[in-house]
RNA sequence: GCCCGAGUGGCGGAAUGGCAGACGCGACGGAUUCAAAAUCCGUUGUCCGAAAGGGCGUGUGGGUUCGAGUCCCACCUCGGGCACCA
């Protein structure tokens, strides 16, 4: 049997004419999909604007359910792609039946590198490709029966979408971060403060004395979107800047294998670091998976410590440390090779060595420098600095294990308290001084005698110890026992004596926001003759991406590190040069020729679903308030459920939170967070097979025999991972529609396991879900005549009780997105119904109706069909979800296990609320229990009423 | 190296600290059929046993508890994230 073989084709000739087969399913499904579209079944009402229908939303709570929108790939879908979309569709349909006004749709993230790269290889314009890909994906997804409001589907490349991406950029550009109020404010308010003198200008001169250019520069330095020289990966051979992910470990381009150079270039940045604390702290309020929160916390990387000034001949050297308590143990300083003071500190004797070392470091790739398996290297600069706590002269080194981009790019090295410093000190024979006496257990663990003499230590000690040798005339840490206490003490001293201050640094960097590409949103920015950036007025948005026949980047001499990129847009000189009136008459300006990164559109797209055609606002404020809502009890506001892959844990989910907070601060949105509840769906994985030469062979043709795999008689090896064209293991939804129908396919994907777990695809297993639907269909429809076999006779009580147990369980599991156990419960109930139908040849309406209702979120087409056959003229979509009757949930009797010493030895049947004495008496009367008890003494009796009895004997 | 997450039948997976293996696949047996497919019914953790029944079982080793897949400690394996962040 092959792993993913298709079952033998059914023979329609011998099949009963009304069997629920793939053929019948296809007929039902396409009919209902057309009906839904004609009737606008999934059109969701807004409280205002063109989509308003206040009557339909009256009294209903709202549920805004969003999938992470896809990039419209040309490769088409495989069965792994729709997993999350099916999950959200089932949930959305469930919530509709629970009386919620549900908004669910899907847009397309169409700008960016993949589309552009594809265009470059094929020579087809990205717009053409993008549009045909979107059309194809819409077709494939429509066939799945997703209940989306199609009127609200948007694409980030639509002009009336990216108009608002540009508008939001201008909001960010037009804002600054007030560190006192801890929020973004409009740049005009900053100007007012400067003008009034309530806020001093950077150099202290009155605002009125600054020239226009000077004012412009001061204001620009405060903006949340700003220009700066930032190091980038410049690849002249491709004519473009590359993302870190696109550069190989050897420092060459992933595509084309050209050299890549680190260079500073003028780039747009977003001041996300201003929001570091809020992005970190607000995580606590979100209903997100803990691992994702943890990844964001690590990414932001807040570390609390101190800056300490060490004086030197070239001025003060600021170091950052998280362990100010170890200051007395600092025996040398280390500067990053890029540190601006390196040159001025270097002595003439050491100049050659230092320059050589820095040049080597500059030539290295980040990945090389960060390979911590290698030995630490560094060079003495020939100068010393003074430790402010004890006046010690400590040598200054330059070493590439210190990074310029973190803290101050300079550290104080405490070899006794930091493993990296310890290794460096051992390599260069630098002194190691203990400032804390480790506990005896630490010495035992390392098999050495307790001693403060670090010469015997095998490594640094980083825990809590008793402080020693840590005092000067005005402060002493000696005798303290905790890092926290010692740190507080020494920071107070540093601040009092102006040697430093407590401070917090972050691993998070500002966001590099420009790309030297074509397929992205143009910046709404122009430059004047002095090079000052100006915002394009709102009234002139969108700044359209100009049509460009040759959209390829200009390739340059691959080895010329000093060349400059020529972004595609720079070549259209009649576009880049523009005359406009920015309030001081028509002038000539030069447009920004970079474009925004792929992330820009995805930072806010969900809000455009709310009001997709609005041409005066990015979203009508009333509509925004209704769907995104302000925070309330246990809810941060924003999207109610956001489902997508874990790969967006940091970048997209951090950038979008940042933009949302800026919009909140400026009063444009009513919630502080965009996504209240986040759920990461797992991935569908698949087996792939390779022959002896390592070539992938078609997985569908591989034969398994006793755990060995072969293809065409040749033995092949199996691996487990992604589905991919090159692995020849792709299974498409279209194949599943063809063989089983969309409802069976949906059901299988939901039944494979919990939604957040990854699982292997097995086409062989799909048939189980089809059999279930066949049995369910047969329980209501005669396979030979097509007649309904449903009667109005009441169901037997036992079946009714089973139904209500099922309702209660299904409802709870639906709410928790546990669709796999929902399906198990429905199958169990349907199996019980089958027994009844087999005996009576009829199906009681009072259990069939709720069964169809419960099935409808999972298998909407089949449910609609049965619903109509049961005599309803309207869709089942908005029917109330069945409610479990508490009376029918109570059992008259329950079977209870009787344990002897924790092992089951018998069973009793009793009333669920029988008391302890009754249960024990019943238990002792059971033969097997009595036998086990014979001659023994019961020393303890544990009874959980309605659940179990345990007799402890000896 | 550090930080997360996960280990349950032949396979995917179920189990508020209370009958381990729900449900599905596969396999085996039977009904139906000229025959097969499809469909329906039954069996299916493992070992001993003819059976009744019993022993053993949730990665490994300890612990808490009347009772542990579930809680605690240590370890092993796999998956993921970060990676000289001072």
| Amino acid whose CA is nearest the C1' of B86 | A321
User: In A 418-437, which Cβ lie closer than 7 Å to strand B?
Assistant: 418, 420
The rounded distance, in Å, linking the Cα atoms of A578 and A642 is: 42
Q: What does the DSSP 8-state code read for residue A611?
A: S
The pTM assigned to this predicted structure is 0.92
Distance A714 CA to B10 C1' (A): 24
Distance A706 CA to B46 C1' (A): 20
Q: Is the CB of A245 under 7 A from strand B?
A: no
Which nucleotide is nearest to A783 if distance is taken from CA to C1'? Answer: B39
| Mean pLDDT, rounded, for A101-107 | 98
Which nucleotide is nearest to A820 if distance is taken from CA to C1'? Answer: B23
Nearest C-alpha neighbor of A213 from the set A581, A526, A531, A590? A531
Q: Is the CB of A305 under 7 A from strand B?
A: yes
pLDDT 10s digits, A773-784: 999 999 999 888
User: In A 479-518, which Cβ lie closer than 7 Å to strand B?
Assistant: 505, 507
Which nucleotide is nearest to A368 if distance is taken from CA to C1'? Answer: B84
Distance A828 CA to B22 C1' (A): 9
Which nucleotide is nearest to A825 if distance is taken from CA to C1'? Answer: B23
* CA A772 to chain CA mean position, Å: 35
**Residue A81 confidence class, pLDDT cut points 50, 70, 90:** very high
Q: Is the CB of A812 under 7 A from strand B?
A: no
User: In A 911-950, which Cβ lie closer than 7 Å to strand B?
Assistant: 928, 940, 942, 944, 947-948, 950
- Among A231-245, A772-786, A805-819, the range scoring the smallest mean pLDDT is A231-245
Q: Is the CB of A251 under 7 A from strand B?
A: no
∠ CA(A148), CA(A109), CA(A229), 5° rounding?
150
Residue A678's contacts (CB-CB under 8 Å, 6 or more residues apart) are A286, A287, A288, A289, A292, A642, A643, A644, A653
User: In A 164-203, which Cβ lie closer than 7 Å to strand B?
Assistant: none
- Percent with pLDDT over 70 in chain A: 96
Q: What SS3 class is residue A678? A: strand
Long-range contacts from A922-929, C-beta under 8 angstroms, 24+ separation:
A923/A898, A923/A949, A923/A951, A926/A898, A929/A898, A929/A900, A929/A905
Nearest C-alpha neighbor of A511 from the set A598, A427, A384, A614? A598
Which nucleotide is nearest to A902 if distance is taken from CA to C1'? Answer: B67
User: In A 87-146, which Cβ lie closer than 7 Å to strand B?
Assistant: none
Q: Is the CB of A406 under 7 A from strand B?
A: yes
pLDDT 10s digits, A555-567: 788 888 788 878 8
Which nucleotide is nearest to A650 if distance is taken from CA to C1'? Answer: B81
Which positions on chain B have an atom < 7 Å from some protein CB? Answer: 3-5, 11-16, 18-20, 22-27, 35-41, 54-55, 66-68, 80-86
| Mean pLDDT, rounded, for A40-65 | 95
Q: Which two tokens stand for residue A669?
A: 């949105």
Instruction: Tell me the ipTM for this assembly.
Output: 0.95
User: In A 213-232, which Cβ lie closer than 7 Å to strand B?
Assistant: none
- Among A3-12, A74-83, A808-817, the range scoring the smallest mean pLDDT is A3-12
Residue A933 has pLDDT above 90, yes or no: no
Contact A392, A432 (CB under 8 A): no
**Residue A77 confidence class, pLDDT cut points 50, 70, 90:** confident
Residue A384 has pLDDT above 60, yes or no: yes
Which nucleotide is nearest to A767 if distance is taken from CA to C1'? Answer: B25
Contact A679, A641 (CB under 8 A): yes
Q: How confident is the model at residue A229, as a pLDDT?
A: 86
- Among A9-23, A79-93, A337-351, A561-575, the range scoring the smallest mean pLDDT is A9-23
Could you give phi then psi for residue A28, rounded to 5 degrees?
-60, -45
Q: Is the CB of A567 under 7 A from strand B?
A: no
The rounded distance, in Å, linking the Cα atoms of A628 and A632 is: 11
Spell out a b/e string for A192-204, using b for 16 or more CB atoms within 10 Å of the CB, else e.
Answer: ebbeeeeeebeee
Which nucleotide is nearest to A320 if distance is taken from CA to C1'? Answer: B86
Which nucleotide is nearest to A754 if distance is taken from CA to C1'? Answer: B13
- Peptide bond connecting A542 to the previous residue in cis, omega within 30 degrees of 0: yes
Q: Is the CB of A302 under 7 A from strand B?
A: no
Which nucleotide is nearest to A897 if distance is taken from CA to C1'? Answer: B19
Q: Is the CB of A532 under 7 A from strand B?
A: no
Which nucleotide is nearest to A949 if distance is taken from CA to C1'? Answer: B18
Contact A896, A918 (CB under 8 A): no
Neighbours of A534 (CB within 10 A): 16
Residue A500 has pLDDT above 50, yes or no: yes
Distance A726 CA to B37 C1' (A): 35
| Amino acid whose CA is nearest the C1' of B68 | A902
Q: How confident is the model at residue A372, as a pLDDT?
A: 47
Contact A804, A885 (CB under 8 A): yes
Residue A292 has pLDDT above 70, yes or no: yes
The rounded distance, in Å, linking the Cα atoms of A590 and A569 is: 12
Distance A932 CA to B55 C1' (A): 16
Could you give phi then psi for residue A332, rounded to 5 degrees?
-165, 165
Q: Is the CB of A901 under 7 A from strand B?
A: yes
Q: Is the CB of A29 under 7 A from strand B?
A: no
Q: How far is CA A479 from CA A157, A253, A428, A471, in A?
A: 65, 56, 31, 10
Residue A704 has pLDDT above 80, yes or no: no
Residue A2 has pLDDT above 70, yes or no: no
| Amino acid whose CA is nearest the C1' of B18 | A948
Contact A103, A63 (CB under 8 A): yes
Where is pLDDT greater, at A443 or A412? A412
Distance A509 CA to B50 C1' (A): 76
Which nucleotide is nearest to A903 if distance is taken from CA to C1'? Answer: B67
Q: How confident is the model at residue A4, as a pLDDT?
A: 32
Sign, CA dihedral A856-A862-A868-A873, equals positive
Q: Is the CB of A759 under 7 A from strand B?
A: yes
The rounded distance, in Å, linking the Cα atoms of A239 and A564 is: 8
pLDDT 10s digits, A31-52: 999 999 999 999 999 999 999 9
The rounded distance, in Å, linking the Cα atoms of A822 and A431 is: 66
∠ CA(A155), CA(A158), CA(A162), 5° rounding?
95
Sign, CA dihedral A320-A322-A325-A328, equals negative
User: In A 633-652, which Cβ lie closer than 7 Å to strand B?
Assistant: 646, 649-650
Q: Is the CB of A772 under 7 A from strand B?
A: yes
Residue A345 has pLDDT above 90, yes or no: yes
Average pLDDT over chain A, rounded to an integer: 90
Distance A458 CA to B77 C1' (A): 30
Q: Is the CB of A253 under 7 A from strand B?
A: no
Q: How confident is the model at residue A374, as a pLDDT?
A: 61
* CA A309 to chain CA mean position, Å: 40
∠ CA(A223), CA(A229), CA(A233), 5° rounding?
125
Q: Is the CB of A895 under 7 A from strand B?
A: yes
Residue A5 has pLDDT above 50, yes or no: no
User: In A 271-290, which Cβ lie closer than 7 Å to strand B?
Assistant: 290
User: In A 348-377, which Cβ lie closer than 7 Å to strand B?
Assistant: 369-372, 374, 376
Distance A373 CA to B1 C1' (A): 9
Which nucleotide is nearest to A324 if distance is taken from CA to C1'? Answer: B86
Element (H, E) at A846: helix A845-855
The rounded distance, in Å, linking the Cα atoms of A806 and A821 is: 11
């Amino acid at each position: 049997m092959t792993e993913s073989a298709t079952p033998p084709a059914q023979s329609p000739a011998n099949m009963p004419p009304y069997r629920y087969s793939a053929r019948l399913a296809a007929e039902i499904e396409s009919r209902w999909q057309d009906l839904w579209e004609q009737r606008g079944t999934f059109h969701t009402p807004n409280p205002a604007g063109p989509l308003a229908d206040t009557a339909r939303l009256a009294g209903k709570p709202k549920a805004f359910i969003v999938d992470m929108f896809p990039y419209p790939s040309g490769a088409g879908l495989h069965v792994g792609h729709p997993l999350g979309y099916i999950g959200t569709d089932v949930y959305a349909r469930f919530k509709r039946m629970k009386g919620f006004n549900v908004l669910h749709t899907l847009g397309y993230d169409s700008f960016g590198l993949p589309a552009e790269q594809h265009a470059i290889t094929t020579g087809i314009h990205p717009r053409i490709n993008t549009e045909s890909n979107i059309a194809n994906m819409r077709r494939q997804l429509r066939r799945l029966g997703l209940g989306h409001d199609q009127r609200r589907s948007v694409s980030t490349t639509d002009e009336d979408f990216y108009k608002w991406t540009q508008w939001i950029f201008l909001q960010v550009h037009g804002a600054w971060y007030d560190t006192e109020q801890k929020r973004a404010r409009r740049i005009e308010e900053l100007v007012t403060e400067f003008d009034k003198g309530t806020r001093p200008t950077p150099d202290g001169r009155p605002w009125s004395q600054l020239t226009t250019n000077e004012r412009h520069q001061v204001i620009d330095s405060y903006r949340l979107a700003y220009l700066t020289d930032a190091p980038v990966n410049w690849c002249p051979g491709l004519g473009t800047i590359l993302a870190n992910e696109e550069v190989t470990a050897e420092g060459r381009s992933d595509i084309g294998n050209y050299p890549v150079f680190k260079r500073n270039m003028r780039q747009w940045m977003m001041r996300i670091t201003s929001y570091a604390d809020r992005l970190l702290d607000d995580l606590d309020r979100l209903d997100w998976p803990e691992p994702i929160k943890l990844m964001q916390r690590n990414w932001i990387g807040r570390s609390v410590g101190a800056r300490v000034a060490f004086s030197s001949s070239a001025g003060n050297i600021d170091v950052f440390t998280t362990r100010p308590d170890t200051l007395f143990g600092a025996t040398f300083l280390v500067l990053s090779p890029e540190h601006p003071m390196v040159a001025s500190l270097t002595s003439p004797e050491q100049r050659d060595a230092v320059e050589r070392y820095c040049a080597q470091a500059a030539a290295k790739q980040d990945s090389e420098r960060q390979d911590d398996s290698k030995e630490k290297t560094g060079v003495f600069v020939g100068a010393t600095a003074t430790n402010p706590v004890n006046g010690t002269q400590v040598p200054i080194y330059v070493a590439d294990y210190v990074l310029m981009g973190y803290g101050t790019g300079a550290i104080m090295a405490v070899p006794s308290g930091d493993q990296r410093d310890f290794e460096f000190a051992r390599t260069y024979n630098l002194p190691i001084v203990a400032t804390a006496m480790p506990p005896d257990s630490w010495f035992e663990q390392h098999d050495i005698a307790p001693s403060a003499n670090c010469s015997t230590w095998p490594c640094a000690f980083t825990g809590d110890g008793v402080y020693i040798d840590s005092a000067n005339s005005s402060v002493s840490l000696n005798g303290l026992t905790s890092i926290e206490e010692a740190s507080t003490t020494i920071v107070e001293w540093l601040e009092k004596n102006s040697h430093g201050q407590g401070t917090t640094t972050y691993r998070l960097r500002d966001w590099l926001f420009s790309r030297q590409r074509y397929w992205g949103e143009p910046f709404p920015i122009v430059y004047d003759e002095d090079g000052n950036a100006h915002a394009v007025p709102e009234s002139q948005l969108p700044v359209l991406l100009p049509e460009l026949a040759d959209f390829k980047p200009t390739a340059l001499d691959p080895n010329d590190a000093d060349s400059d990129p020529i972004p595609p847009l720079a070549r259209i000189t009649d576009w880049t040069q523009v005359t406009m009136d920015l309030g001081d008459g028509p002038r000539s300006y030069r447009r920004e020729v970079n474009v925004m990164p792929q992330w820009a559109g995805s930072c806010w797209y969900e809000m455009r679903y709310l009001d997709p055609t609005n041409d005066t606002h990015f979203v009508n404020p009333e509509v925004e308030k209704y769907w995104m809502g302000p925070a309330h009890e246990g809810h941060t506001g924003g999207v109610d459920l956001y489902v997508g892959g874990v790969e967006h844990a940091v970048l997209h989910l951090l950038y979008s939170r940042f933009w949302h907070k800026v919009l909140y601060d400026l009063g444009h949105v009513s919630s502080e967070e965009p996504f209240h509840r986040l759920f990461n769906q797992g991935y569908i994985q698949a087996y792939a097979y390779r022959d002896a030469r390592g070539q992938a062979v078609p997985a569908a043709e591989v034969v398994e025999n006793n755990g060995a795999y072969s293809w065409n008689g040749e033995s092949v090896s199996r691996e487990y991972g992604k589905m991919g064209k090159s692995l020849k293991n792709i299974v498409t939804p279209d194949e599943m529609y063809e063989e089983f129908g969309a409802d069976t396919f949906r059901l299988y994907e939901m039944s494979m396991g919990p939604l957040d777990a990854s699982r292997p695809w097995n086409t062989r297993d799909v048939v189980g879900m089809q059999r279930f639907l066949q049995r369910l269909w047969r329980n209501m429809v005669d396979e030979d005549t097509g007649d309904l076999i449903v009667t109005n006779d009441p169901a037997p009580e036992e079946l009714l009780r089973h139904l209500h147990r099922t309702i209660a369980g299904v409802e709870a599991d639906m709410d928790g997105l546990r669709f796999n156990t929902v399906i198990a419960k429905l199958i169990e109930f349907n199996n019980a119904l089958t027994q009844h139908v087999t005996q009576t040849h009829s199906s009681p309406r009072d259990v069939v109706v709720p069964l169809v209702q419960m099935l409808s979120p999972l298998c909407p087409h089949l449910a609609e069909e049965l619903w109509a056959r049961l005599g309803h003229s309207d869709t089942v979509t908005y029917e109330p979800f069945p409610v479990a009757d508490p009376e029918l949930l109570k059992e008259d009797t329950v079977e209870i296990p009787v344990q002897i010493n924790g092992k089951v030895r018998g069973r009793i049947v009793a009333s669920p609320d029988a008391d302890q004495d009754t249960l024990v008496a019943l238990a002792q009367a059971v033969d097997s229990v009595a036998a086990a008890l014979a001659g023994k003494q019961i020393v303890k009796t544990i009874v959980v009423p309605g659940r179990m009895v345990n007799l402890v004997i000896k």
